[in-house]
Amino acid sequence: MTILSVIIGLILGFVLRGQDLSQETIVLINFPGEIFMQILKLMILPLIFASLVAALAQMDPKESGQMGLLTVGYYTMTTVLSTITGIILVLLIHPGDPTIKNDWMIQHIEHTQVSPLDTFLDVVRNMFPENVIQAAFQRVQTVYVPYKHKYQNVSNHTHPSGYRKQMAHVPGMNILGIIVFCTGFGIVISQFGEKAKIIVDFFVIFEAVIMKIVELLMWFAPLGIVCLIAGNLLELEDLSDTAAVLLMYVLTVIAGLLFHTIVTMPCVYLLLTRKNPLRVVKGMTQALVTAFGTASGGAALPISMQCLEENLKVDRRIARFVLPLGSTINMDGNALYEAVAVIFIAQLNNITLSLAEVITVSFIATIASLGLNSVPAGLVSILVILNTVGLPINDVSLIITVDWLLDRMRTSINVLGDAFVADAIAYYLGDQLKETDKENVFHQEIQDEIKMLASASHSRRTSNASAVMSSRASIVPPQTPSLLNAPDPLNWKQTALLQKLYADISLGKVEDV
């Protein structure tokens, strides 16, 4: 149904373009999709908070650390590969023709020099917000404020023209800071064990409620996606001219995205897991189509979690940890797009980049894609790279005109990349998590039995308690295949623990638990 809604939206958009609709009509067509997007985005913050805390609070801190390292390492590797793919293709195809600028009106973009250092520092600042409530709707960003011209005494001298840097809070959810806070919060809760059971149960139920709301919302997804795509197409002014001028650029980006999707990601996944990558694509179909329709990885996050857990049977703790993190730092499509866009602009201006400049482009595109995903169209990332290698900024307006399509494609690829990573992490850590679950159940059984035996020791003499323990030990000794005739054998740690506990209780050393 979701795939059909995308097709219907495209057909409806192209058909209605020839009807000369008024602006009010276009707004009304887009309105249901706008409401659908707003409700989906409404779910992002509570879902990230509840899912991360619930997942990490139920895991051992050591396992959380392993999962974090594996996840970040996998994401970084695929992002680097996507950037290299984009650079190779744009250099081979060479879509940038300087004559394009003669036939196309380039809009002037008022922008100051953007420092790569400031961009990096902004990412780090946003990782550690001073107020987690404020992080829900604002993020920190370095802005460049022009100097005010002031007259000095009676002369006509003014300050030299330029800008000064200033820290400001700009609108937009600081997802990176929220994820860092929730990660630390969940890991600390996990260290309290049974004492924190109430708060863990709260977040588990809270997460289930959010997912139930998303489930109900998905009944309206077809209508929302149709309206979003049709409305987006109707808002474009001259689609044919744009396609003719930027056809090779669009084809280059699409070719890079397809290569990364069909070759790079499946091959990496296959080498690491020896599993069929097609099952991941098939299981994530609904999430991919939703990402394409909404052009938002955050909006597709709830559906991605649902697909991973229900279709691919990924442990919910892994899905709840990997996907929110991936929605922030896994931007394979963005990294490829930004690298191609920058080199395309260089080709437009008949500028040949040196090897060092190409390496700089690839490095900054990789780093920028990790922390600037919330900026529309990756504009700030592209401007940072352009400033670094000394390329014209005004040409950015040319590539933004076709971003409505490329943004949807790279968002879908980002979501698919998250799924590959989550399933690979489940392959390596899934059994370990299950073993930990068995250990937790085993320790709970021991605690229950100790309580029963300790209670008996309070009402009897030590000799009687010893007799009871001897009797019980003769029925279920630690060397038997289970604690209470369970099917799984005890390991040496469990056996040693049982022996010590039985001895302590028999000697009256354990009074209460």
DSSP 8-state assignment for residue 13: H
Q: Locate tokens 């979701």: which residue?
A: 2
Q: What is the pLDDT of residue 72?
A: 86
Phi, psi of 330 (to 5 degrees): -95, 95
CB distance 305 to 320 below 8 Å: yes
Q: Locate tokens 């953007």: which residue?
A: 114
Q: What is the pLDDT of residue 94?
A: 87
- C-alpha angle with apex 173: 168 to 177, nearest 5 degrees? 85
Angle between helices 301-310 and 316-329 (to 10 degrees): 150
User: What is the per-residue DSSP string for 157-197?
Assistant: --PPS-EEEEEEEEES--HHHHHHHHHHHHHHHHTTGGGGH
Residues near 426 by beta carbon (within 8 Å), at least 6 away in sequence: 312, 314, 315, 318
- C-alpha angle with apex 64: 120 to 495, nearest 5 degrees? 160
Judge if pTM exceeds 0.75. Answer: no
CATH architecture of 2-435: Orthogonal Bundle (1.10)
Q: What is the pLDDT of residue 89?
A: 93
Tokens representing 236 are 């474009």
CA distance 120 to 504: 57
CA distance 6 to 228: 9
Q: How many Cα atoms are found within 13 Å in the side-chain-facing hemisphere of 430?
A: 15
Phi, psi of 198 (to 5 degrees): -65, -45
CA distance 457 to 279: 57
Q: What is the pLDDT of residue 472?
A: 47
Phi, psi of 150 (to 5 degrees): -125, 135
Angle between helices 116-127 and 175-190 (to 10 degrees): 40
pLDDT tens-place values along the chain, 513 residues long: 667 888 888 888 888 887 888 888 988 988 998 888 888 888 878 888 888 888 888 777 777 788 888 988 999 899 899 999 999 999 999 887 776 665 554 444 444 455 667 777 887 888 888 888 888 888 888 877 776 655 444 444 444 456 677 888 888 788 778 888 988 898 899 888 778 889 989 998 998 888 888 888 878 888 888 888 888 788 766 666 556 667 888 899 999 999 999 999 999 999 999 999 999 999 999 899 888 888 877 778 888 998 999 999 998 888 888 888 888 778 888 889 888 988 988 888 888 887 877 887 888 777 767 655 544 445 667 776 777 677 777 777 677 767 778 888 988 999 999 999 999 999 988 777 777 666 665 556 666 666 666 665 555 544 554 554 455 444 444 444 444 444 455 555 556 566 656 666 555 554 444
pLDDT in tens, 86-103: 999 999 998 877 766 655
Nearest residue to 425 (alpha-carbon basis) of 303, 354, 330 = 330
- Reduced to 3 states (helix: H, G, I; strand: E, B; else coil), residue 83 is helix
CA distance 422 to 186: 19
CA distance 95 to 254: 12
Nearest residue to 127 (alpha-carbon basis) of 384, 327, 328, 368 = 328
Tokens representing 126 are 């946003």
pLDDT in tens, 342-388: 898 888 888 888 787 788 788 877 776 765 554 444 566 777 677 76
Tokens representing 52 are 């991360």
CA distance 395 to 504: 78
CA distance 91 to 24: 44
- Residue ranges, CATH 1.10.3860.10, the chain: 2-435
CB neighbour class for 474 (10 Å; exposed up to 12, middle 13-18, buried from 19): exposed
* Cα distance between the two ends of the chain: 55
DSSP 8-state assignment for residue 391: -
Q: What is the pLDDT of residue 474?
A: 46
Q: Which amino acid is it at 107? A: Q
User: What is the per-residue DSSP string for 458-476?
Assistant: HHS-HHHHHHHHHHHHHHS
Q: What is the pLDDT of residue 259?
A: 96
- Reduced to 3 states (helix: H, G, I; strand: E, B; else coil), residue 47 is helix
The sign one gets for the Cα dihedral 20, 25, 29, 33 is positive
Rg (alpha carbons) of the chain, rounded to whole number: 29
Q: Which amino acid is it at 185? A: F
Q: What is the pLDDT of residue 261?
A: 94
Q: What is the pLDDT of residue 226?
A: 87
Note the helical H segments in 236-378.
239-259, 265-273, 278-283, 285-294, 301-310, 316-329, 332-348, 355-371
